[in-house]
Amino acid sequence: MQTANTPKTSMYRNPFRPGAGHLPPYLAGRSAEQEEMRKLLSQETITDNAVITGLRGVGKTVLLESLKPIALESGWLWAGTDLSESACISEDAIAMRLLVDTAAAASSVLFEQAQHQKIGYLGDSEVQRFPLSYETLESMYRATPGLVSDKLKHVLEQIWKLLKNTEVRGIVFAYDEAQNLSDHKQEAQYPLSALLEVFQSLQRKGIPFMLLFVGLPTLFPKLVEARTYAERMFHVMTLSRLDEAASREAILRPVEGHPIQFGENSVNTIVTVSGGYPYFLQYICKEVYDLWIAKVTANETPTIPIENIIRKLDSDFFQGRWSQTTDRQKDLLRAVVALDSCDDEFTGMEVSNKSKELPIKPFSPSHVIQMLNTLSDRGLVFRNRFGKYSLAVPLLSNFIRRQYD
């Protein structure tokens, strides 16, 4: 740690903000994805939509927030929010979600409409300017005959007929937590399929409405399962951990000009322990900085109690998920993290074979698959398109090893 000479206590301020989707003081290592978005926004005809995917803690939501001003500066409207499970429960629910978001995005655009008036014996008209309201869109939706997809196509087409006479280039429909989107065959409801069908139809007609989905790695396989042509509709950006240079930037740039600075040894320690994951970088830096502020104001020598910080991270981030697993599921995860490929991909057979080498009751391959599917529902693992599995939480393998070490 480095400090300036006798700074005032009021000058101490912790710039780091770990949290779900909280914008960091400096967004490091995501310029390539931002440039990809600029390219997508430059399309004359929308042939590529976007999917941003990755594990929890890699900064998907933060990146999404950074893309909004890029779209607005490029002349696009931005519609969207988090996709809750209730918004995805039926075709009509997802249609209402789109209409609400479209009305909110277009509220800043005033449209002209001629209102007929009678003055004496002569007819005349007065041009009035009005915003597009949700009530107007819902009324149009309800009055349109046909399936939900037919209704939604008609309303969105009418919206573009109004927008194309303005300076608006198009609308980006951006949805976080999009892994919640799915079809429900048992209830004969297909909200995901309907959504993909509507946007493919609009884009074939040259209407510049773009989808931007953000979610966990289970998202893209869901899209392809719902509509095979989804594989050709989306450009996938997979976020991973930051490299060492970007990790150092994420640590050092926020404290530029602050009275307390990170020394070289401190930076190296934080980079190593965080694994380069943006959330953990923010979390560890905040804990260290809070401690240092307390130490400096008390005229004590600051250090990094990394073991204490790791224990606090375990309690805050991992323990809740771990406590919801059964003893047998814990044994299975112990076999998973014993694999050399545990932080990449693994198969049920590999886990079964490894379980025979550990002091636990072995698992059969079929039992492994059954339990991995259960753990997938709990958000601890996920299955990719090729039938292999991965841990769904960054640095989870280190946490599990600490439980047994």
29-73 pLDDT per residue, tens: 999 999 999 999 999 999 999 999 999 889 999 999 999 999 999
Question: 297 with 394, same domain?
Answer: no
**Under a CB-based contact definition with an 8 Å cutoff, are residues 159 and 106 in contact?**
yes
Domain that holds residue 10: 2-18+244-304
Strand partners, 237: 52
Number of domains in the chain: 3
Question: 160 with 68, same domain?
Answer: yes
The percentage of residues in the chain with a pLDDT greater than 90, rounded to a whole number, is 73
Would you give the DSSP letter of residue 318? I
Say how far apart CA 393 and CA 319 lie, in whole Å.
12
Q: Does any domain span residue 150? A: yes
> 302-354, pLDDT tens digit by residue?
778 889 999 999 999 999 989 999 999 999 999 999 999 999 999 999 999 99
Averaged pLDDT score across all residues of the chain: 89
Question: 255 with 374, same domain?
Answer: no
Q: Among 238, 261, 278, give the residue marking a domain's end.
A: 238
Q: Does any domain span residue 210? A: yes
Q: Does any domain span residue 262? A: yes
The DSSP H or E segment spanning 12 is none
Q: Does any domain span residue 182? A: yes
Say how far apart CA 306 and CA 310 lie, in whole Å.
6
Q: Does any domain span residue 314? A: no
Strand partners, 235: 50
Q: Does any domain span residue 268? A: yes
Question: 186 with 167, same domain?
Answer: yes
Question: 57 with 205, same domain?
Answer: yes
> 65-108, pLDDT tens digit by residue?
999 999 999 999 999 989 988 889 999 999 999 999 999 998 87
Q: Does any domain span residue 82? A: yes
Type of residue numbered 190? Y
The DSSP H or E segment spanning 59 is none
The DSSP H or E segment spanning 148 is helix 148-163
> 105-145, pLDDT tens digit by residue?
988 776 555 343 443 444 444 445 556 788 989 999 999 99
**Under a CB-based contact definition with an 8 Å cutoff, are residues 34 and 67 in contact?**
yes
Question: 355 with 263, same domain?
Answer: no
> 134-184, pLDDT tens digit by residue?
898 999 999 999 999 999 999 999 999 989 888 999 999 999 999 999 999
Would you give the DSSP letter of residue 236? E
Percent helix, strand and coil across the chain, each rounded to 5? 50, 15, 35
Residue 113 neighbours by CB distance under 10 Å: 12
- Residue 401's pLDDT is what? 94
Contacts of 178 (CB under 8 A, 6+ apart): 51, 83, 213, 214, 215, 219
**Under a CB-based contact definition with an 8 Å cutoff, are residues 21 and 56 in contact?**
no
Question: 266 with 329, same domain?
Answer: no
Question: 62 with 187, same domain?
Answer: yes
Say how far apart CA 211 and CA 46 lie, in whole Å.
10
- Residue 170's pLDDT is what? 96
Question: 46 with 192, same domain?
Answer: yes
DSSP per-residue string spanning 149-179: HHHHHHHHHHHHHHHTTSS--EEEEEEBSGG
- Residue 378's pLDDT is what? 86
**Under a CB-based contact definition with an 8 Å cutoff, are residues 144 and 150 in contact?**
yes
Residue 88 is part of a domain; what is its CATH number?
Answer: 3.40.50.300
Question: 212 with 349, same domain?
Answer: no
Question: 248 with 335, same domain?
Answer: no
pTM above 0.95, yes or no: no
| pLDDT of residue 2 exceeding 60 | no
Q: Among 184, 208, 238, give the residue marking a domain's end.
A: 238
Q: Among 261, 276, 304, give the residue marking a domain's end.
A: 304
- Residue 52's pLDDT is what? 97
Q: Count of H helices and E strands in the chain?
A: 17, 11
- Residue 101's pLDDT is what? 95
> 306-320, pLDDT tens digit by residue?
899 999 999 999 999
- Residue 280's pLDDT is what? 94
Question: 219 with 330, same domain?
Answer: no
Q: Does any domain span residue 316? A: no
Say how far apart CA 212 and CA 210 lie, in whole Å.
7
